[in-house]
Amino acid sequence: MPEVDEVDKSILAILKRDSRTNFTEIARMLNLSEGAVRHRVKSLVDRGIIKSFTIEIAKDYNVRAVTFVSVSPSTPTPTVADKLAQISGVTEVYEVTGSTDIMAFIAVDSMPMLNKVIEEIRNIPGIVETNTSIILRHVRSPNL
pLDDT for 51 equals: 85
User: What domains sit in the chain, N to C, each tagged with a CATH number?
Assistant: 6-46 (1.10.10.10), 63-134 (3.30.70.920)
Beta bridge partners of 131: 68
What's the confidence (pLDDT) of residue 100?
96
Tens of pLDDT along 5-27?
999 999 988 888 888 899 999 99
All residues at 6 or more sequence positions from 67 whose CB lies less than 8 Å from its CB, including other chains: 103, 104, 106, 118, 121, 130, 131, 132, 133
Residues of the chain with pLDDT under 50: 1
Asked if residue 40 lies in contact with residue 6, where contact means CB atoms within 8 angstroms, the answer is: no
The helix/strand/coil state of 39 is helix
